[in-house]
Amino acid sequence: MENHSLLSFIVALLGFLSPSLTKLTPRISFHLGSSGRHLTHFSSHDVSNTTMLLLSQDGDMLYVGARDAVLALDVSHKDAIILRSKLDWSPSDKDLEQCSMKGKRMADCPNFIRVLHFLNNSYIYACGTFAFSPRCTYINSETLEMSIKPDEGRGRCPYDPYQRNTAIIVDGELYTGTVADYRGNRPVISRHLGRRVDLKLDDTLGWLEDPTFISSSFIAEQEKIYFFFSEVGKEYDFIDKFIVSRVSQVCMSDIGGQRTLQRRWTTFAKAQLLCQADNELPYNVIQDIDSLPPAEGAPADDTLFYGIFTSQWSVNSGRSAVCSFRLSDIKTVFSGNYKVLNRDTLQWSTRVQEKVANPGECGLHNASDNALRFVKENFLADESVRSVGKSLSMVSTEHNYTHLTVQRVQAANNRGYTVLFLLTESGYLHKTVLLQSGAHIIEEIQVFERPQPIKSLKLSIPKSVIYVGTSEGVVRVPTANCSFYWTCAQCVLARDPFCGWDPVHRACVEASDTQTNLGQDIDGGHVEGICNSVSVIHRARFGPNKLPAGELVSVSLNEVVRLQCPAVSRLSLQLWERPNSRLSSDLYLNLEDGSLSFVATPATLGHYLCLSTENGYQQIMAIYHVKQRNNAMAQTPISYIQPQTQPIPTTQIAASPGLHTYVRTFSKRPGARQGETEPTLSSRDTQVTTRQMGRNMTLWTEKSRQNETDFQNGESLLLARGPCYLKELVVVSILLGLCFSFLMTTCLYIIKQRCRSRTAPQPGTPTRDPDRRTPVEQEALRGSQFLSNCNGQAPHSGQASGLVCNRILAGYKGHLPNTPI
């Protein structure tokens, strides 16, 4: 109980000391089916659970392990994934019946492929659950046919399709981490298929404690296989079921001991992976891990392992952290001291004792029995493997990451950047670059809509694509999407190591070794120095009597106006400005979506500009001119061109001090030849063409200079001579208050008189007057007459009714027909 109380205090203290986390927001979001992100899908009505992915060396063929089948998909075409061949491998009716008799659901009894690896250049080795009776076989990679009859797969493949496992083939030998019994109570790390003797872990000491296997990796320089998993940490006796993440190793040259540890690993050792930041609780449950080879010319010790971790602590609930571990640190921990296991109590201690042998060292199969007994009892490293820099690479408080793959990308400045592709539980793929200032999520792509219980990622660096295997099919996602960024500013602000701005072709292109003059700023994302453009200067873009053209919005006084401002990215901030005027919070309302709402009055008529600010760079997104509607314009409403679906090249928006900005664009006439454009004219010879660029960017056209001069002079005259209704508004408000007080007093007096007349004795029977009305009916009649006055009928009380009608119109909340939504 004392230990439990101490742990609770520590958890509460560390939770209090944990620093606030910065919210990581993807810059661009692409929903499923979005035209801005091209994805290629493969699915078939008779194929499901396509989650085991194996890519050929040239990247043109993708082998998929599914339910009751193995598929060969041709992925050499850019816009299609073609099914070349299919191997049906399903249990018989008798096998399914036996599976059902074991108490298993029929939905779990098919053959789910869980091991799929190249054995050599000609054959694939595959294993499946096969109705809770694992089977393995050899498959010809060309014809996709079985070469021999399937044999037993116990110890190589799990029984349960939902049981996680890992497998890797090196030099024709299969190294696996899985369970070796039907109930899943015997976890094993074993070697099969080789010319050397098959090996597994010793069963007597509990070398593994209810593990969940995640991944395995081969390090050629060391001739070692590393396994990553999570298990119950028995060395922590202050709490039950405390989960820890582990890395373990075995040597490929191990053949077991001669008398002690016969047919057992003599080189097995394990250590804790500690993903923890200062003054925070550790993220102790590993979800996925991937290796990043060292840079060209760097030693193998610089190999990094990036993993996703979650926490069993309620303080960190709902968070996902990414940590990296260096191979040199793992080697240092394994070459250090080891904990001692008491055989009788199965308790670990850290007492210092004489080292008879070095656990985890290769070549111990020739050691003495005394040395082998020492490594049999001392296989848990005393120290933990800390993450690089003893910090987190990134942490998300909003997304639960389940899978990841990592790639090193060389940018135009010849610097290498680490890019993570993280798959969320909700079905989004996050493309993230790790910077010194922190993680930056370049974009998120929705790859599936409904939750998928089992998923997998496969990265093809030569083809620059990622394959996502789900329960419903396979999705191919290009790693780069440079053509989406249509201006130099957007290309630089993306901070994507894959993309750079080509000043010659004026396009955002994929970075390569041959292009060194591309515009990039991955670390800072500063536009001015790269694009040779000047940011919009606050309050200095309008000269005297020079107002830019924009979309004409005709309104009536006292109507509610809402002006839309398209967002460039989710990291941009939308701001509104007026020439030579301040947007008071008493008159204007800035909405959450970036739009501006206000009531049309003589003081709020005029020009409005929407500015997008991101990373210190400003650009104009929309220009509006709000003008009072006259009778002629009311009869002839301004027409608008519907948004186009095909992208049209545009001019980058930039402004310099003392100049006002014009943005020119034309809509393409239906049936016109390529390159032929036709301007669209509205009423009064004013161009108000609008179009949607497909990237949430709206651009507005320029008027003719003669119309612009007349329009500006009229607008200046309207602003200079416009009447002020402040005094009239005060008088009307006072009159309305007096009228309302008088009306309420009269009603109360009439009701009081009626109550007295009912209780007083009457001299005779009253006669019924068909025209008599009760005070309530009289009041309702007055209300009907009042509404008639508002609809254009003659008022009964002079100007009073007209003032009230205007007050009602001032509260009108309807949308305007010419207001962008």
User: Could you tell me which residues are beta bridge partners of residue 588?
Assistant: 598
Q: Could you tell me the two tokens for 494? A: 């993306």
What is the SS3 assignment for 405?
strand
In Å, what is the CA distance from 68 to each residue of 53, 273, 533?
15, 37, 59
Residue that the structure tokens 């369970």 belong to = 179
CB hemisphere CA count around 571 (13 angstroms): 19
Residue that the structure tokens 């009307």 belong to = 732
Task: Summarize pLDDT for 634-651 with one digit per residue, the tens.
Answer: 444 333 333 333 333 333
Residue 569: its pLDDT value, please? 93
Residue 786: its pLDDT value, please? 38
Instruction: Say if CB 667 and CB 647 are below 8 A apart.
Output: no
Domains of the chain: 482-531 (3.30.1680.10), 551-721 (2.60.40.10)
Residue 723: its pLDDT value, please? 52
Q: What DSSP assignment string belongs to 244-309?
A: EEEEEEEETT----SSTTTTB-SS-EEEEEEB--TTS--B-EEEEEEEEPPPTT--GGG-EEEEEE
Residue 85: its pLDDT value, please? 96
From the list 360, 358, 382, the residue with the least C-alpha distance to 371 is 358
Residue 240: its pLDDT value, please? 66
Write out the H or E segment, with its range, that includes residue 63: strand 61-66
Residue 346: its pLDDT value, please? 74
Instruction: Say if CB 24 and CB 398 are below 8 A apart.
Output: yes
Q: 3-state SS string over 768-801?
A: CCCCCCCHHHHHHHHHHHHHHHHCCCCCCCCHHH
Q: What DSSP assignment string belongs to 722-737?
A: ----HHHHHHHHHHHH
Task: Summarize pLDDT for 157-187 with one digit per residue, the tens.
Answer: 999 999 999 999 999 999 999 999 888 889 9
Gap between the Cα atoms of 544 and 658, Å rounded: 10
CB count, 10 Å around CB of 651?
11
Burial of 810 (0-12, 13-18, 19+ CB in 10 A): middle
User: Could you tell me which residues are beta bridge partners of residue 476?
Assistant: 40, 467
From the list 481, 475, 387, the residue with the least C-alpha distance to 434 is 387
Residue 136: its pLDDT value, please? 97
Instruction: Say if CB 508 and CB 500 are below 8 A apart.
Output: yes
Long-range contacts of 45-49 (CB under 8 A, 24+ apart): 47/71, 47/86, 47/473, 48/471, 48/472, 49/112, 49/161, 49/454, 49/471
pTM across the whole model: 0.75
Q: Which residues of the chain have pLDDT under 50?
A: 1-20, 537-545, 633-722, 762-821
